[in-house]
Chain A
């Protein structure tokens, strides 16, 4: 089902003549109906993508999407916008490359410029041991059909002139590069999916917080919200850091820990960095946005938090790590800093699929790497809801793996936050 084209060059010309007063709203804001076929909880990228794919791929259009705040205001608006598919295990590469491939066609599909910039992502080795681990990692990915290449230090310097390749305390010994990696505009992802879903009939209901579920015979019957009770027999949950809160309301357990992940940007400057740089050793990553800001991030904060704000010590650590790689950025002023509540799973792999409650499905556990996975997370959750059985790509990421022990331990394999 194609999305109607309400935005085009002709429309732009027409609206310019009319003083830009007649633009249609991107998505409708209806009152909630008493009942829906499917209710999606969470108006971030994953929830919006789920609603969109339910309508566009599976023809399920009597769908409500409930968001307690405003859409894209959680982690979708609080990340470093990096997209890549350089994971280690085949299950993960299949999943994340599915996502990256969807991203590659998404601007066209949603008729919105996602500013997908596949500038390439470099993962740096700073020791002989890093070299061995990263070559193993990069070889594993290539065997799985994901193009990436090994760069010697001189080649790294040629790719990234601003990087202090030879002057660091632990000089760069090499790097592997995935050229299809890069960044995308996070707000456009949320707005594009929201508009697409809304045009296909999905009701996007903001400022609507879920307070409980009606469950009988272990089957979900209704969702209680601050805007009334909505009857449904299928619920999809995509609420990242608040997954445990909703699971507790529904009466099942999750293996998640909610932590803060911070990101920060400098004042905008002229183009100085046209690759995404990630260093597992100092554990920090940086790219330059199209507006010129240096966008930086590091590891999650050190203790559990639902605070949506960062603590100072990890921020100082992150900035120190960036300056170790790029001493020339030391006089940049920091402009903004923010934090999101991320849901870290024990194997740092996501959970997508059924829950112990019949008719209730979940997409969570993306931890510090949910943005890159938005199209896949939505696609797989939608397929799982529509067919009431896990999508083949989602099967390894079922909740049951924490009972059977079939973990997808990316945390141990790749050794860096995702």
Chain B
């Protein structure tokens, strides 16, 4: 069971939250190739280790935020705002 520090509500159990998938995906220009568009829609880093993800406090304030998490240990390394840059993560195993 993860305990997640919601930036607005504080520490809550994981079942109040929804993981919204990989963060920082940028939509390519509309004139892009089919391959670029396919990559945008479907290709994922799916990292073993440091993962940058969007999460939502679905059964709380319903706000979105970003999380840096390790997909092997499940350890949460950082929580930051939706539009914030990726924070410096000293312990990440990139």
| Candidates B15, B45, B48; contact of A313 at CB < 8 Å | B15
Q: Mark B41-60, 1 if CB is under 8 A from A, else 0.
A: 11111111001010000000
Judged by a CB distance under 8 angstroms, whether A242 is at the interface is yes
Bound-state CA distance A311–B3 (Å) is 12
A242-B48, A304-B51, A305-B74 known; A254+B43 contact, CB < 8 A: yes
Judged by a CB distance under 8 angstroms, whether B81 is at the interface is no
Judged by a CB distance under 8 angstroms, whether A411 is at the interface is no
Q: Mark B18-61, 1 if CB is under 8 A from A, else 0.
A: 11010000000000001100110111111110010100000000
Bound-state CA distance A302–B69 (Å) is 14
Judged by a CB distance under 8 angstroms, whether A244 is at the interface is yes
Report chain A residues within 8 Å CB of B19: 302-304
A302-B19, A403-B35 known; A244+B42 contact, CB < 8 A: no
Shortest Cβ gap from B59 to chain A (Å): 12
| Interface pair B42/A346, CB less than 8 Å apart | yes
Judged by a CB distance under 8 angstroms, whether B83 is at the interface is no
Judged by a CB distance under 8 angstroms, whether A123 is at the interface is no
Judged by a CB distance under 8 angstroms, whether A25 is at the interface is no
A255-B42, A255-B43, A402-B42 known; A306+B18 contact, CB < 8 A: no
Shortest Cβ gap from A321 to chain B (Å): 15
Judged by a CB distance under 8 angstroms, whether A216 is at the interface is no
Bound-state CA distance A304–B68 (Å) is 12
| Candidates A254, A303, A307, A402; contact of B46 at CB < 8 Å | A254
Q: In the complex, how many residues of chain A place their beta carbon closer than 8 angstroms to a beta carbon of chain B?
A: 23
Residue among B18, B48, B51 with max Cβ neighbours from chain A (10 Å): B48
Bound-state CA distance A404–B15 (Å) is 36
Report chain A residues within 8 Å CB of B41: 346, 402
A304-B53, A313-B1, A403-B34 known; A253+B43 contact, CB < 8 A: yes
Bound-state CA distance A302–B58 (Å) is 13
Main secondary structure of the interface of B (DSSP, over half): mixed
Judged by a CB distance under 8 angstroms, whether A13 is at the interface is no
Bound-state CA distance A403–B34 (Å) is 6
| Interface pair B48/A306, CB less than 8 Å apart | yes
Report chain B residues within 8 Å CB of A258: 46, 48, 71
- When C-beta atoms are compared, the residue in chain A nearest to B15 turns out to be A313
Shortest Cβ gap from A391 to chain B (Å): 23
- When C-beta atoms are compared, the residue in chain A nearest to B35 turns out to be A403
Shortest Cβ gap from B83 to chain A (Å): 22
Bound-state CA distance A302–B21 (Å) is 10
Judged by a CB distance under 8 angstroms, whether B88 is at the interface is no
| Interface pair B14/A311, CB less than 8 Å apart | yes
Report chain B residues within 8 Å CB of A245: 48
| Candidates B13, B34, B42, B74; contact of A307 at CB < 8 Å | B74
Bound-state CA distance A303–B21 (Å) is 8
- When C-beta atoms are compared, the residue in chain B nearest to A407 turns out to be B42
List A221-279 residues whose CB lies under 8 Å from chain B: 242, 244-245, 253-258
Judged by a CB distance under 8 angstroms, whether A312 is at the interface is yes
Bound-state CA distance A122–B82 (Å) is 44
| Interface pair B46/A256, CB less than 8 Å apart | yes
Bound-state CA distance A302–B71 (Å) is 12
Residues of A within 8 A of B (CB): 242, 244-245, 253-258, 302-307, 311-313, 346, 402-405
Residues of B within 8 A of A (CB): 1-2, 13-15, 18-19, 21, 34-35, 38-39, 41-48, 51, 53, 69, 71-74
Closest 9 CB pairs of A and B: A255-B42, A303-B19, A403-B38, A244-B46, A253-B43, A402-B42, A313-B15, A306-B48, A402-B38
18 example contacts (A-B, Cβ-Cβ < 8 A) are as follows: A242-B48, A244-B45, A253-B43, A254-B44, A255-B42, A255-B43, A255-B44, A257-B44, A303-B19, A304-B46, A305-B71, A306-B48, A307-B72, A307-B73, A311-B2, A346-B42, A403-B38, A404-B38
